Structure 1
Amino acid sequence: MTMQTERIIRRKLSDEVLERLLKLIAEGNLKAGDAMPSERELMERFGVGRPAIREAMQSLANMGLVSISHGERARVKELTAQSIIRQVDLSAHIMLQRSSDSLEHLKQARLFFERGMVREAAAKAKPDDVARLRAIVEQQRAALGKADAFLAADMRLHTEIAAISGNPIFVSVSEAMLGWLKAYHTELLIWSGKETYTLAEHALVIDAIERGDADAAEAAMVKHLERSSGLYGLKG
């Protein structure tokens, strides 16, 4: 019988250190807010040199698991859905910049996501939730003619609709997608009388949420997003 070759690959010391530090964090031996052991402590504990420790610590920082400040010990960061998703912001922007197909895929994903969120909001919204949504629309109305403020209120409204679900991951996904799309918003198209349509469409969405009519809320949201979809384009 012919034996299959299975090469044993020697790992870098920094990878070994990284694996052990990850285990300490995952098992709760190092908790959010805790200072990491000093470089010297880690060198003695693992029997490796300073370069391996520093490389492993930088890898942890790149993962968003620790914060490193000059002259201070690194600290374990608290992980949230938002902090995890924000780790891919730069990669997402590069992907979108390189490919018009990626932008179209993102718009499709957002439409699918928003349809679910608005149905969830219609099922769960309480009077206080509806009042918050209406207050944001009034802030948006007051920002007519002020592009940045108008768009910021627009983003808050959609994220607040996601927040009605009570699921922080939905909120973080909403914030992320809106942030990625914002870079590709063609302002000349926004400020051509289209903002009044946005206000009217938002009002229809909120009316349906208040009535608890998931079908009407979804239909109003789809109409709104399909119209506004054309306002996003790749910048050369």
Structure 2
Amino acid sequence: MDAHARSRRKALKVVVGALCTEVGFGMAEESAIETLTEMLQSLLTEIGKSSKAYTELCGRTDVLVTDVLTALIDQGINIESIPAHAFRHNKSVFNPPGQSVPQPIQRVLSAGERQEHHTHIPDHLPPFPDPHTYIRTESHKQPVSEYQLIREKAASYKRDTERAVTRYVAKTGHTQSLFKDDTSSFPLIAVQPHPHPYLMALLPKDQDLDSLDISDVQGVNHGSDTLDPNSSKFDQSDIDTIDNPYLQPIKMPRYKKFKTMS
């Protein structure tokens, strides 16, 4: 069955369903609808063949209304009931099928301009294809070798890695809460003071050492002596306390009294 036959069959099936609804049926099986559709298609086919036969019998090529009425009478249909059936009050009205939108034709990839035939090539031969079919064209981009872009990508990758590690530590490690009543809101990574904090200053880091002043380096060296764990000022209880400035109690500033000149 071709596409035109399937479309006509589908239209007849809709008509049969509408007639069944007008009669009073609420639902029907697929086999019953197919049987009624086949009967209606056979009836219309016989009416068309009979109308064509009466037309050719009279020596005409166009079918007239009298030819169709004669074919209906031959099929045993009461033609006087047709006007009453056409003007029934509960008939179903079908909207005309809309015009189908043609499928857009996909354009073939074209690169460059096609060359015309040379003087020694006849015009009836096919034209030259696109230049990309016989000229080498790059299908990939060259790798980025600029120093600035590489540094930006490395910094972005490092920042994403640090953020992912921070989230992982916050979910799996020990955390501190910003609010004492609610420990699940705003979790913070617990600060663990290092017993030898001066070692962090001695470890190499990714920074510009030339921009540091000599006074800053000397200050770090002198300040590290005060953090010696063997000294008497080092207290073990400072490690157990929370060394987080956001969780420490508020320190009120001291007000100095100024002397008034009499």
- TM-score normalised according to structure 2 size: 0.17
Whichever structure has more helix as a proportion of its residues is 1
Greater Rg, structure 1 or structure 2?
2
